[in-house]
Amino acid sequence: MLKFRTFRGGIHPPDSKITAGKPIEKAKIPANVIILLHQHVGAPCKPLVKEGEKVKAGQKIGDSDSFVSAPVHSSISGVVKEISTQQSPIGREVQGIVIESDVRAESARMEAIDPATASKREILTRIREAGIVGLGGAAFPTSVKLSPPEGKEIDTVILNGSECEPYITADHRLMLEQPDKIVKGVGIIMNVLDVDKGFIGIEDNKKDAIKRMREAVEREGDEGIEVFSLKTKYPQGEAGSLIKTVLNRETPSGSHSYDIGVLVQNVATAKAIHDAVYEGAPLIERVVTVTGDVKEPKNLLTRIGTPFYDLIEECGGFKSDVGKIVCGGSMLGVAEFGNVPTIKSTGCILVLDREKSKTPEERACVRCGMCVDVCPTGLMPTILEKLARARRFEECMDYHILDCMECGSCAYVCPSKIPIVQLIRYGKEEIKRRE
Amino acid sequence: MPELIVSPSPHIRSDVSIEKIMYSVIIALIPTTACGIYFFGVHVLYVIITCILSALFTEYVALRLMGRKFVMDGSAVITGLLLALCLPPGLPLWMAAIGAAFAIAFAKCAFGGLGHNIFNPALIGRAFLTASWPVAMTTWTKPLTYDAITTATPLGLWKMQNIATPYINLALGNVSGCIGETSALAILIGGVFLIAKRYIDWRTPVSYIGTVAVLAFALGQDPLFHILAGSLFLGAFFMATDYVTTPITRNGRIIFGVGAGVIVVVIRLIGGYPEGVCFSILLMNAFTPLIDRHVRPRVYGVKRKRFFVSSANEGD
């Protein structure tokens, strides 16, 4: 197998992984959590509790009848204070349940399941009941992803441990500290799908994680799982790039990775699956990297629904004049208006000072072609940007605008500081709106 | 609660800017400029300064007339410097000033300023001067004599009298010719610097110079002489790599280089002029929009691997 196979284009931003050496710390139980009823792709949940009701940590408090959805659980023990409209960290207004902590540690767990004897249906039901969604950022309900449509045969599972975004180290720490749980999680995924080939892809800037994961795979003794060292390059962690690198397959334009027999899951999702099956634990906590311009950047094991400012406070507060608070990494993250709660897919809170938050002055395009060179999809971003600006959307389609995955590599390299991704997003939105 | 800045991703940008690239190109041209001054004397320095000042002044006036803000981004300095480097060392200063002014006003600002011109402004300036004052533009000074002893360029000697100039002279630069086309080595140093910085694509100079070498060899000429003599190196590393007027895709740049190489050989061997670099690049500049329209990278997950894409039936 070619070891240094890679995907087209890509960029090498400074990795800024200042928290890579910091072990995961348990965050304080917050005074209040806000559990959003819509944290995932698919139908929002309906609340199962009323204001004033007592809830335990791990108690299911929201669910939906739709197939594409995932229930939500209270992440602390306490009392439901209110159910109201809340701001979500990915820029939507959704219903949320505010729970006030009663400082008791009452928790509700499900019974552990032995995956060796349990049926696939049982395991899939458990994954759904535990509220597990893709923790890499997409937040697609995992039980749905593990039930591919009739006729789609999955032959390979790829576990995504590339963590190619600058700053974020949550998955890196998880792989170092709990490699066995991750490997057991992959085992469950492979069993459910009847697949005997699994890869764990990790970028080679995390040599220690590659080593730990290889040791864990050996301990587990599953010969079908291979730890795959990936060349460090953004956006290696994007599913298309990852599949291309590991298997040299391409997801056809407009289709899904299961059309080419591949399922990609994040390492944190695999760990959550392990916890749900072996320990009966619902998804109520996750590792969040709180980093950037905070006094003491940390990797925190947090309860889902913790307000961002609580976590920033726990890291010593802002280091200097704060400019931006970003949910997610520096390439793909969403800048926040104010204090929002974390959701299941929040892996990083990035604080940038005022200087770093400045929007650079936009200049004329000099046609340097750097955006074309770095585009992992093989698009011509400069042309898309110009066409979208001129509202020539038909022509945008000729240039495959809908294949853009908005990784931001083009805008990153642009010497004229043109907001290319923003303009392409605008073009995509307009095209979708007109359909 | 602090006031937060909200903007779309990405939240980090590379530190490469237009200014950084432009000033790097100027730095890359220092060895060539220094060689020109060393071989042809102080008048060369005046020609260079005249061209740069004239270019800056013209850009300032033109942008004001267009109601736009003048930005000192270094692009006009490059146009002035590159024009000076492809002028004869003894050219009267007023001609140099007019050439630079024409280059900026008609080849750059008339098209809409930085980023919008079709033809390389410096080469348009040179072509304009060649058409206007053909004698002054072909009066060459003997190097290291520092006075106006006129002589022929290596390509002129080859074309008219079939005399070959030694390689070592061509490489080091003690040959007659334009200010910037003396030392191939000095140009190479600057070009390699820009390639190492990844500000220019190696594909352009390699395909351009390579085509000239292969074609010259195939036609029974001395390939090494043809790549070292004249302004091929200067054109290949500094003019055929101009962002604005050359293709934006890697494959497009190779087509550009090969096309320009073919034109150089055709002009040198069949045409009336001894040198064809200037026209080869200008002609390929005209083809750049066409190349960009039809040469596109392969899109991920789109199977048909056709090198040329016809935009009319490509929507499926």
Measured distance CA(A37)–CA(A336) in Å, rounded: 19
A410 lies in a domain? yes
Q: How many domains, in total, are found in chain A?
A: 2
A64 lies in a domain? no
A265 and A146 in one domain? yes
Measured between CA atoms, the residue of chain B closest to residue A249 is B301
Per the CB < 8 A criterion, the answer to whether A90 and A61 are in contact is: no
Find, among B187, B182, B236, the residue nearest to B211 by Cα.
Answer: B236
Residue B171: pLDDT band with limits 50, 70, 90: confident
CB nearest A250 (choices: B11, B71, B300): B300
Residue B146: pLDDT band with limits 50, 70, 90: low
Per the CB < 8 A criterion, the answer to whether A159 and A198 are in contact is: yes
Task: With CB atoms and an 8 Å threshold, state whether A367 touches B250.
Answer: no
User: Any idea what DSSP says for residue B180?
Assistant: G
Measured between CA atoms, the residue of chain A closest to residue B113 is A364
Measured distance CA(A7)–CA(A236) in Å, rounded: 8
Specify the amino acid at residue B231.
S
Measured between CA atoms, the residue of chain B closest to residue A241 is B300
When the pLDDT of each residue in chain A is averaged and rounded to a whole number, the result is 93
| ipTM of predicted assembly, 2 dp | 0.89
Task: With CB atoms and an 8 Å threshold, state whether A415 touches B20.
Answer: yes
Q: How far is B111 from chain A (nearest CA, A)?
A: 13
Q: How far is B117 from chain A (nearest CA, A)?
A: 10
Residue B217: pLDDT band with limits 50, 70, 90: very high
Measured distance CA(B226)–CA(A326) in Å, rounded: 57
What is the mean pLDDT of the segment spanning A103-126?
Answer: 88
Task: Say which CATH number the domain at A226 has.
Answer: 3.40.50.11540
* Probe site for chain A from B13, B23, B310 (most A CB atoms < 10 A): B13
Residue B154: pLDDT band with limits 50, 70, 90: confident
Q: How far is A248 from chain B (nearest CA, A)?
A: 11
Query: Helices B203-218 and B250-269 meet at what angle, rounded to 10?
Result: 30
- Name the one residue in this structure whose structure tokens are 């995504």: A160
Task: With CB atoms and an 8 Å threshold, state whether A363 touches B314.
Answer: no
**Residue A48, CA distances (Å) to A85, A266, A410, B164 in order:** 16, 29, 45, 92
Task: With CB atoms and an 8 Å threshold, state whether B2 touches A408.
Answer: no
Task: With CB atoms and an 8 Å threshold, state whether B302 touches A252.
Answer: yes
Residue A389: pLDDT band with limits 50, 70, 90: very high
Q: What is the pLDDT of residue B313?
A: 41
A411 and A273 in one domain? no
Task: With CB atoms and an 8 Å threshold, state whether B301 touches A332.
Answer: no
Q: How far is A321 from chain B (nearest CA, A)?
A: 9
Per the CB < 8 A criterion, the answer to whether B178 and B35 are in contact is: no
Residue B159: pLDDT band with limits 50, 70, 90: confident
pLDDT of B303 > 80? The answer is no
A431: contact with B, CB 8 A cutoff: no
Q: Which range marks the domain in which residue A384 is found?
A: 370-434
A91: contact with B, CB 8 A cutoff: no
What is the mean pLDDT of the segment spanning A187-213?
Answer: 94
pLDDT of B314 > 70? The answer is no
Task: With CB atoms and an 8 Å threshold, state whether A240 touches B299.
Answer: no
- Who's near B74: CB < 8 A, 6+ residues apart? B18, B19, B22, B23, B25, B26
What is the mean pLDDT of the segment spanning A389-404?
Answer: 94
Measured between CA atoms, the residue of chain B closest to residue A402 is B299
Q: How far is B152 from chain A (nearest CA, A)?
A: 37
A210 lies in a domain? yes
Query: Which residue numbers of B have CB closer than 8 Å to A's CBs?
Result: 1-2, 4-14, 16-18, 20-21, 71, 73, 113-116, 201, 243-244, 246-250, 253, 292, 296-303, 311, 314-315
Alpha-helical (H) ranges within chain B are 18-28, 30-40, 42-65, 75-85, 93-102, 121-132, 154-156, 167-172, 184-196, 203-218, 223-228, 232-234, 250-269, 277-294
Q: Is A383 left (phi over 0), alpha (psi -120 to 50) or beta?
A: alpha
Find, among A99, A35, A36, A40, the residue nearest to A68 by Cα.
Answer: A40
Q: Which of A230, A251, A278 is the last residue of a domain?
A: A278
Task: With CB atoms and an 8 Å threshold, state whether A377 touches B300.
Answer: yes
**DSSP states of B129-177:** HHHH-TTGGG-EEPTTS-S--EE--HHHIIIII--PPPHHHHHH--S-S
- Who's near A221: CB < 8 A, 6+ residues apart? none
Domain spans of chain B, in order of start: 18-294
Task: With CB atoms and an 8 Å threshold, state whether A398 touches B301.
Answer: no
CB nearest B18 (choices: A331, A377, A416): A416
User: What percent of chain A has pLDDT above 70?
Assistant: 99
Per the CB < 8 A criterion, the answer to whether A260 and A251 are in contact is: yes
Task: With CB atoms and an 8 Å threshold, state whether B243 touches A368.
Answer: yes
Query: Helices B184-196 and B30-40 meet at what angle, rounded to 10?
Result: 170
Measured between CA atoms, the residue of chain B closest to residue A251 is B301
Q: Which residues of B touch A321 (CB under 8 A)?
A: 2
Specify the amino acid at residue A365.
C
A253: contact with B, CB 8 A cutoff: yes
pLDDT of B306 > 60? The answer is no
Task: With CB atoms and an 8 Å threshold, state whether B6 touches A323.
Answer: no
CB pairs under 8 A between A and B: 169
Measured distance CA(A325)–CA(A290) in Å, rounded: 10
Tens digits of residue pLDDT in A296-350: 999 999 999 999 999 999 999 999 899 999 999 999 999 998 899 999 999 999 9
Q: Which of A262, A278, A294 is the last residue of a domain?
A: A278
What is the mean pLDDT of the segment spanning B266-291?
Answer: 92
A274 and A155 in one domain? yes
Q: What is the pLDDT of residue B163?
A: 83
pLDDT of B315 > 70? The answer is no
CB nearest B301 (choices: A250, A321, A369): A250
Question: SS3 sequence, chain A?
Answer: CCCCCCCCCCECCCCCCCCCCCCCEECCCCCEEEEECCCCCCCCCEECCCCCCEECECCEEEECCCCCCCCEECCCCEEEEEEEEEECCCCCEEEEEEEEECCCCCECCCCCCCCCCCCHHHHHHHHHHCCCECCCCCCCEHHHHCCCCCCCCCCEEEEEECCCCCCCCHHHHHHHHCHHHHHHHHHHHHHHHCCCEEEEEEECCCHHHHHHHHHHHHHHCCCCEEEEEECCCECCCCHHHHHHHHHCCCCCCCCCHHHHCEEEEEHHHHHHHHHHHHCCCCCCEEEEEEEECECCCEEEEEECCCEHHHHHHHCCCECCCEEEEEECCCCCCEECCCCCECCCCCCEEEEEEHHHHCCCCCCCCCCCCHHHHHCCCCCCHHHHHHHHHCCCHHHHHHCCHHHCCCCCHHHHHCCCCCCHHHHHHHHHHHHHHHC
Q: A283-287, B31-35, B140-144 — which is least confidently predicted?
A: B140-144
Tens digits of residue pLDDT in A212-257: 999 999 998 888 999 999 999 999 999 999 999 999 999 888 888 8
Query: Helices A267-278 and A170-177 meet at what angle, rounded to 10?
Result: 50
User: What percent of chain B has pLDDT above 90?
Assistant: 72
Task: With CB atoms and an 8 Å threshold, state whether A372 touches B1.
Answer: no
Specify the amino acid at residue A332.
L
A8 lies in a domain? no
User: Any idea what DSSP says for residue B308?
Assistant: B
Report cis status (omega within 30 of 0) of the bond before A235. Answer: yes
Q: A159-163, B5-9, B27-31, B78-82 — which is least confidently predicted?
A: B5-9
pLDDT of B312 > 50? The answer is no
Q: How far is A53 from chain B (nearest CA, A)?
A: 31
Architecture of domain B18-294: Orthogonal Bundle (1.10)
Task: With CB atoms and an 8 Å threshold, state whether B248 touches A350.
Answer: no
Specify the amino acid at residue A425.
R
Specify the amino acid at residue A417.
K
Q: What is the pLDDT of residue B211?
A: 97
Find, among A395, A381, A370, A363, the residue nearest to A424 by Cα.
Answer: A381
Residue B144: pLDDT band with limits 50, 70, 90: confident
Find, among B122, B222, B250, the residue nearest to B179 by Cα.
Answer: B122
